[in-house]
A and B are shown apart, each in its own frame.
Chain A
Amino acid sequence: MTSRLDVSDGFLGRGDDVYEALIRAHEGLTDDESAALNARLVLILANQVRDPGAVIEAIRLARETGPPSEKA
């Protein structure tokens, strides 16, 4: 099966803006609050993709690219 996941750079030259916004969103939060914010954000973006197959591919990629101890 070919992956429907597009991992090319889609930030349109604004990757650093997005990254900074992500980091700033966590300022002043505890680790648990940060983890919860990340979970909400993942769900929001998973919906925004409008492609459940791609979301499942993305989950697989995230699972496979972690440090060795976290890999499936």
Chain B
Amino acid sequence: MGTYVPPRFAYRPAAESRGHTGQRRPVAIVGAGPVGLSAAIDLALHGVPSLVLDDNDTVSAGSRAICWAQRTLEIFDRLGVADRMMAKGVTWQRGRVHRRDAEIYSFDLLPEGGHRMPAFINLQQYYVEEYLVERALQFPELIELRWKNKVVGVAPRQLGAELTVDTPDGAYTIEADWVIAADGANSSVRRMLGLPFRGQDFDERFLIADVRMDAAFPNERLFWFEPAFHAGQSALLHKQPDNVYRLDFQLGPDADPALERQPDRVMPRVRAVVGESTPFELEWCSVYAFRCARLEHFVHGRVVFAGDSAHVVSPFGARGGNGGIQDVDNLCWKLARVVGGRASEALIGSYDEERGRAADENILNSARTTNFMTPKTRTERLFRDSVLDLAPHAGFGRALVNAGRLSRPCLLSGLRLQTEDADSGWAGPVPGAPAPDAPVTDADGQPSWLLNHLGGAFALLCFVSDEAELADCAALKASAVSVVAIASRALSRAAPDVLIDHAGIAHARYGAEPGTVYLIRPDQHVAARFRRFDPDAIEHALLRASGADQSIRSAA
């Protein structure tokens, strides 16, 4: 059994710390966790250079965020890191909920096939960070990673911010047009700007322990209410790579954190779950209370908050790490357009609007789960226990059992970038929904996935049935948008660049008919959709979704 050896990233004295004036940067990113690193990679894919400043020189201590949801994996795939994560991670899609020693019910998070990405993988945050660093190093011209560079001052400027950075060789200052604060739940940027972080504190204490053992637990999320091995409380088990298991124990509000993290207290709790005969080693443990809180706004002048610096949730539902990566997905294409002068700064306001909605949804769901797990009054406990009593007998009872509402992408419908449907009664993803994946055959006749042809740029996904429709679709290419044509069968040799939906899954998932067009945003969300090729309507939706309409109006 080997234990994970964290990489050490080389600190190099910055030119600025030797008295040179720092070059002004388009984007500075504070924090090289999953969110900051993903932002640097996403910006690099858009051609935008960034400087990443991190106060440490290694990856996350402890496994921390471990459950990565399908939508997040699709983003990691767009960033070029999903294959490594998939190869290492533990894939799962089934959760089982027990009360005492009996299973009440189980749920399948991805009952249908035809997706490149599974419902979830479990992978320790340190691996995620290590892989993201290696990916970032593939952009030496665009990403500069500076380790042991601690941001100790933030001074907002009219068009940017000045950062004061402390290093082993002394402090320096550097200016950036934009700052992404990805410096975590205890964000120093947030504190230095004096921004209130309001929300709900939970009194309940939880023990989280990673243990290494050769055990036969399945690749499933196992949850217990009132298990025999942990009387009166709840517990959760997740399998991670390297034979490491994550155990969460509810401890009650009166538990003493300093006492409960002692190995002689932790080991018997773990022993009660794994049994007497299974040897195990304790890898990491922590005792903590939860908080659900958020900034009122995520954009403050030219400083943009993403991930835990902007919002924190309780861990039940895996909405922290996933929410942070989905922030990046939403922000970076917008920032790239603004930095590149292709959209007005107002486009960044839509990040606040869209991810603010997502943060509210994540906070609501994770707070509800925590409340269900920790009833605070006699009446609350009666309702909770009654739901558990009914669950084995009644479907509606199972629907109310809340052992975690696992991370789902937020629907951005009705918000300012999306164009409402002109036609009603349409199956498929509504404007604001993430584009669903489907297996396709590419132009070379090779099996491929639809989502690998979308994202990065605005795209028109055109469902065509003949050469005439393909010609209509090609004519749309004149706009600043890529065109992805998809057909049920191969068209003529003169039309080589068409994806084939051989199984009909894409047509079914998109409720598509010949002539259907979806406008897909760079973050693979639907901006608008049309039953027929309508160049004017498409152009209008594109201007709206890309933030170009405002800049055009202000320029006129």
- A interface residues, Cβ below 8 angstroms from B: 7-11, 15-16, 18-20, 22-23, 26, 29, 31, 34, 61, 64-67
Contacts and interface: CB of A to CB of B under 8 A. Distances in A.
B399 interface: yes
A16 B368 contact: yes
5 closest residue pairs by CB, A with B = A7-B394, A9-B399, A8-B395, A34-B379, A15-B399
A15 B398 CA distance: 10
A23 B380 contact: yes
A19 B383 contact: yes
B551 interface: no
Contact of A15 (B371, B390, B392, B396): B396
A22 B383 contact: yes
B379 A11 contact: no
B396 A8 contact: yes
Nearest to B369: A16
Contacts of B368: 16, 19-20
B69 to A, nearest CB: 18
A26 B396 contact: no
A11 B387 CA distance: 14
B405 interface: yes
Interface size of B as a range: 20 to 34
Given A9-B395, A23-B380, A65-B394, 12 more contacts: A7-B394, A7-B395, A15-B400, A19-B372, A19-B383, A19-B387, A20-B368, A29-B379, A65-B389, A65-B393, A67-B385, A67-B389
A7 B393 contact: yes
A38 to B, nearest CB: 8
B396 A31 contact: no
Contacts of A20: 368, 371
Pick from A15, A29, A66 the residue with the most CB of B within 10 Å: A15
Contacts of A15: 396, 399-400
B402 interface: yes
B395 A26 contact: no
B402 A19 contact: yes
A3 to B, nearest CB: 11
A23 to B, nearest CB: 6
Given A19-B383, A22-B383, A26-B380, A11 B396 contact: yes
Contacts of A61: 390, 393-394
A23 B396 contact: no
A7 B380 contact: no
A64 to B, nearest CB: 8
A62 to B, nearest CB: 8
B378 interface: yes
A22 B379 CA distance: 10
19 contacts: A7-B395, A8-B396, A9-B396, A9-B399, A10-B396, A11-B396, A11-B400, A15-B399, A19-B368, A19-B387, A20-B368, A20-B371, A23-B379, A23-B380, A29-B379, A61-B393, A61-B394, A64-B393, A65-B390
A24 to B, nearest CB: 10
B277 interface: no
B377 interface: yes
A59 to B, nearest CB: 13
B381 to A, nearest CB: 10
B389 A26 contact: no
Contacts of A16: 365, 368, 400, 402, 405
Contact of A23 (B365, B371, B390): B371
B400 A19 contact: yes
Given A16-B405, A65-B390, A66-B389, A23 B383 contact: yes
B398 A9 contact: yes
A16 B403 CA distance: 12
A67 B377 CA distance: 19
Interface in B369-426: 371-372, 377-380, 383, 385, 387, 389-390, 392-400, 402, 405
Contacts of A29: 379
B221 to A, nearest CB: 18
Contacts of B378: 31, 34
B371 A11 contact: no
A67 B385 CA distance: 9
A33 to B, nearest CB: 9
Nearest to B399: A9
B390 to A, nearest CB: 5
A23 B394 CA distance: 20
A9 B105 CA distance: 14
Nearest to A12: B399
A34 B405 CA distance: 28
Contacts of A11: 396, 399-400
B133 to A, nearest CB: 38
A26 B372 CA distance: 15
B411 to A, nearest CB: 12
Contacts of A67: 385, 389
A8 B377 CA distance: 28
B429 to A, nearest CB: 17
A50 B372 CA distance: 31
A65 B385 CA distance: 11
A22 B382 CA distance: 12
B407 to A, nearest CB: 15
